[in-house]
Amino acid sequence: MDRIAPEKRNTCALVVDDEALMRELLTAALEGVGVACVKATAGGASALAILDATDPAEPAVDLVVCDLSMPDMDGVEFLRHLADRRLDVAVVLVSGRDPRILRSAESLGRAHGLRILGSLEKPVTRRALRELLEAPSSGAGPARAPRPAGAPLEPAELRAALANGELSAHFQPKVDVRTRAVVGVEALARWFHPVRRFVPPDQFIALAEEHGLVDQVTEVILGKALRAGATWSATGTELSVAVNISMDSVARLDLPDVVASAARSTGFALGNVMLEVTESRLVRDLTTALDVLTRLRLKGVGLSIDDFGTGYSSLEQLERMPFVELKIDRAFVNGATKDASKRAILESALSLAQKLDLTTVAEGVETEEDWRLLGELGCDLAQGYWIGKPMAAEAVQGWIDAWRSIETARP
Ligand code: C2E
Ligand code: MG
Ligand code: MG
């Protein structure tokens, strides 16, 4: 009997494919995995008309399964129109063409802010479809480039949030792949807006960077993270605490002092602080960045190059800057067992880091297969939903106890 995650049972899917046979096969596959309602149409224009229709008697479409090569409007154009509508739909791409085209279309969809669950090569099997729909990333949880809800975020809202203490830190465990020991946590900024509810960090960090507020965000998260670290340490749980720093903050000459004073005031050991540097834009002032990063290292703070393989993180920076850790972006971790290109990039990043004597961390471990592969490839640390999702500071000790008990229960 096929099973489907309970939250999928009420899904209403729309199949968009110009070939009648493919529409039938996809419809049957979706029904076979328990999708309650399946609509099908032959092209992008008619699909958009279905999505635009607001008949309250009809169930709203929340999953679009779309072929990339269609004569009237190709899949890429369709994705653009779909993104413009800002609908709450998940998207699965299907193609009989080169798998690399599928992957670029996936990236493009994500860049548009769409929730792309993944892509399927034709012929589509029911098993592949089910795996995609039941993957942890297809359910709740922040998407990579979430769509803003309602009116665009205003900098004044973020200023108010900073003043009203609406920002908090959640913590995601980092564990040793070989020994399963919990070695640290990464602090992730969380904003629970009184009206908008959860605002994902990808949205408000970008806003903070644009409007010169990112240093204030850093200070808030740093304070909360190190305070939590000091509390765990007081009860005998020594964890390394990682905080994300955008390259804009690295341009601030007083960053080493800000970090040192946060450590002093919370009583957390500077040597247990890790700063994860992400580059969302090019470093304008390399001299200042090098000055700041070197002084941080001199104080004993660890530096990690985050999201390696994406953005502007480059081999040149790896060589010049005093990083001790390399975090491989989840784009090359989750699903690497099934995707030769991902796996090749993962293996090269690991071997590069090992040669440079950097600790390796894989992000986005979503399945046991991801975890096993990291063990085989000799990755040092891992982080991801399969291990533990980001959680409130108060939940961390309980999570560690539970993780340890699973460990001892294993043969
Ligand atoms: P990041 O530093 O790469 O953090 C990891 C992100 O991946 C987090 O998203 C986390 O929730 C998510 N994640 C963890 N495991 C998995 C998994 O198995 N699967 C999937 N699909 N996702 C997973 P989050 O919390 O939405 O943060 C997004 C980004 O926002 C962070 O990426 C980081 O670059 C930035 N950010 C978060 N907090 C701060 C902060 O305090 N300061 C700065 N400057 N940036 C921050
Ligand atoms: Mg990070
Ligand atoms: Mg990352």
- The 3-state secondary structure of 5-38, one letter per residue: CHHHCCCEEEEECCCHHHHHHHHHHHHHCCCCEE
Q: Is-contact 66 47, C-beta < 8 A?
A: yes
Please provide the distance, in angstroms rounded to a whole number, between the alpha carbons at the two ends of the chain.
Answer: 29
User: Which ligand ends up closest to the CA of 201?
Assistant: 1
Tell me, using a 6 A CB cutoff, whether residue 330 lines ligand 1: yes
CATH code of residue 34: 3.40.50.2300
Task: Assess whether 116 and 172 both reside in one domain.
Answer: no
Name the one residue in this structure whose structure tokens are 């979503």: 366
Task: Assess whether 126 and 171 both reside in one domain.
Answer: no
CA of 389 to the centre of ligand 3 (A): 14
CA of 121 to the centre of ligand 2 (A): 32
Q: Is-contact 240 176, C-beta < 8 A?
A: no
Rounded to 5 degrees, what angle do the CA atoms 332, 337, 342 make? 30
Of 247, 252, 257, the C-alpha closest to 282 is 247
Residue nearest to atom 33 of ligand 1 (CA): 244
Task: Assess whether 167 and 127 both reside in one domain.
Answer: no
Closest ligand 1 atom to residue 200 Cα is 26
Question: What's the pLDDT at 141?
Answer: 33
Task: Assess whether 125 and 163 both reside in one domain.
Answer: no
Give me the domain span that covers residue 267: 155-409
CA of 306 to the centre of ligand 2 (A): 6
* Alpha carbons 381 and 226: distance in angstroms, whole number: 21
Q: Is-contact 274 301, C-beta < 8 A?
A: yes
340: which residues sit within 8 A by CB, 6+ positions away? Answer: none
Task: Assess whether 260 and 327 both reside in one domain.
Answer: yes
Q: Kindly report the average pLDDT of the chain as a whole number.
A: 88
* 143 within a domain of the structure (yes/no): no
Residue nearest to atom 25 of ligand 1 (CA): 188
Choose which residue among 248, 363, 387 to substitute to test ligand 1 binding: the one with the highest number of ligand atoms within 8 A of its C-beta: 363
Query: For the packed helices 214-234 and 393-409, what is the interaxial angle rounded to 10 degrees?
Result: 50
Tell me, using a 6 A CB cutoff, whether residue 329 lines ligand 1: no
pTM: 0.72
Closest ligand 1 atom to residue 329 Cα is 3
* 147 within a domain of the structure (yes/no): no
* 150 within a domain of the structure (yes/no): no
CA of 364 to the centre of ligand 3 (A): 8
CA of 306 to the centre of ligand 3 (A): 5
Rounded to 5 degrees, what angle do the CA atoms 183, 185, 189 make? 170
User: Which ligand ends up closest to the CA of 304?
Assistant: 2
User: Which ligand ends up closest to the CA of 202?
Assistant: 1
For 110-121, the pLDDT digits (tens) are 888 899 998 888
Task: Assess whether 103 and 73 both reside in one domain.
Answer: yes
Closest ligand 1 atom to residue 208 Cα is 44
User: Environment class of residue 340 by beta-carbon count within 10 Å: exposed (0-12), middle (13-18) or buried (19+)?
Assistant: exposed
Quickly count: other Cβ atoms within 10 Å of residue 78's Cβ.
25
* Alpha carbons 15 and 65: distance in angstroms, whole number: 5
Tell me, using a 6 A CB cutoff, whether residue 385 lines ligand 1: yes
Question: What's the pLDDT at 76?
Answer: 87
Tell me, using a 6 A CB cutoff, whether residue 246 lines ligand 1: yes
Task: Assess whether 382 and 234 both reside in one domain.
Answer: yes
Tell me, using a 6 A CB cutoff, whether residue 244 lines ligand 1: yes
Tell me, using a 6 A CB cutoff, whether residue 202 lines ligand 1: yes
Task: Assess whether 160 and 127 both reside in one domain.
Answer: no
* 343 within a domain of the structure (yes/no): yes
Q: Is-contact 14 65, C-beta < 8 A?
A: yes
Characterize the bridge pairing of strands 325-328 and 302-308. parallel
Stretches in the chain below the pLDDT threshold 50: 1-8, 139-149
Of 113, 55, 41, the C-alpha closest to 82 is 113
Tell me, using a 6 A CB cutoff, whether residue 201 lines ligand 1: yes
Task: Assess whether 129 and 216 both reside in one domain.
Answer: no
Question: What's the pLDDT at 32?
Answer: 85
Task: Assess whether 317 and 386 both reside in one domain.
Answer: yes
Per the structure, the count of domains in the chain is 2
CATH code of residue 204: 3.20.20.450
CA of 118 to the centre of ligand 2 (A): 23
Tell me, using a 6 A CB cutoff, whether residue 249 lines ligand 1: no
Considering 134, 164, 193, which residue would you say is the last residue of a domain?
Answer: 134
Considering 134, 165, 193, which residue would you say is the last residue of a domain?
Answer: 134
Tell me, using a 6 A CB cutoff, whether residue 276 lines ligand 1: yes
Q: Is-contact 350 317, C-beta < 8 A?
A: no
* 117 within a domain of the structure (yes/no): yes
Task: Assess whether 125 and 187 both reside in one domain.
Answer: no
Residue nearest to atom 20 of ligand 1 (CA): 364
Structure tokens at 195: 């009206």
* Alpha carbons 347 and 194: distance in angstroms, whole number: 44
Half-sphere exposure of 375 (CA within 13 A, CB side): 11
Task: Assess whether 271 and 380 both reside in one domain.
Answer: yes
